[in-house]
Amino acid sequence: MTGAVPEAGLGRLLLALQFTDSSFPSGMYTLSHGLEGLAQEGRVDADSLADVVHGILRHSTGPADATALALAWSAVAEHGGGAAPGEHGDMAVPGGAVPGEAGPDASGCGATELLAAITRIDRRLHATRLTREFRDGATRTGRQVLDLAAEILDDPVVDAWNAHVRAKRAPGSQSVVMGVVYARGGLTRREAVAADLTAVVISMAGAALRLRLADHRSAQALVRGAAPVIEEVTDAALRRPLEWVGGSAPGLDLASCRHEHAEARLFAS
């Protein structure tokens, strides 16, 4: 149609769809995000599943992972690593660099400052995890996603963060990895946080299926029913500073501690 505004490219949407797909080889299928431990203690069943998932989002994943992801995204944008259209008044270009700026690469002062900023966020998040299951799960999946992202995206900032984590200079938490990946992929900060929270909910729905807390229909209802909570938790995460990173879910942590020594387990967490 004459005079119609051209549609924006689908690149960032397609990136989000790929990384939130449950078939993406992140290793998240090995995690129940605490659901198995709670089920073993009789603290979650089919009737209470949705409330438990919403509670995990609000009190654990949101204040910890979602907040760290938002901060990692901001660190990338702040150090010239690219911003999504409308987020800082600039248009993202291929590779995530802002027009007129080279952006950080695998070397140089800009990269050093960027890696230091992301490392502070990653270490802070890692230190707030009280159980070994949650620490190990987050870093194992994070390193796997990061290594694959570096291979398929061919992005200098993702490559630099991958090399930094592989050199054991940072834990490599999954949510921090996704903050870097989504920032470089052109997602807005809000989109990035919401996409990762959606991936977590999909993962929990899959775990609920295997634990027989849900069937295929109720699992989809669980994912859809979490949408308003994801929006709420996303907006809260965008407002938190680094000093506030960390969840507060004592019951979940205690269940995780006992789950670690359970005689039989389907999941690593």
pLDDT tens for residues 77-123? 998 655 443 343 332 333 333 323 334 444 455 788 999 999 999 99
Q: How many angstroms separate the CA atoms of 114 and 106, rounded?
A: 10
User: Which of 191, 159, 233 has its CA nearest to residue 17?
Assistant: 191
Q: What is the pLDDT of residue 131?
A: 86
Half-sphere exposure of 72 (CA within 13 A, CB side): 36
* CA distance linking residue 241 with residue 116, whole number of Å: 17
Is residue 55 predicted with pLDDT exceeding 70? yes
Please report, to the nearest 10 degrees, the dihedral formed by the alpha carbons of residues 235, 170, 142, 85 taken in order. Answer: 40
pTM of the model: 0.86
Q: Is 19 exposed, middle or buried (0-12, 13-18, 19+ CB in 10 A)?
A: buried
Tokens standing for 207?
A: 């775990």
- Kindly indicate the confidence band of residue 256, based on its pLDDT and cuts at 50, 70 and 90: confident
**CATH homologous superfamily of domain 11-258?**
Urease accessory protein UreF (1.10.4190.10)
- The amino acid at residue 110 is G
Residue 261 has pLDDT above 90, yes or no: no
Predicted pLDDT of residue 108: 53
For 111-163, where are the E strands, in sequence order?
none
> Please, which pLDDT band fits residue 134 given cuts at 50, 70 and 90?
confident
Distances, alpha carbon 29 to alpha carbons 49, 185, 242, 259, in Å: 18, 24, 29, 17
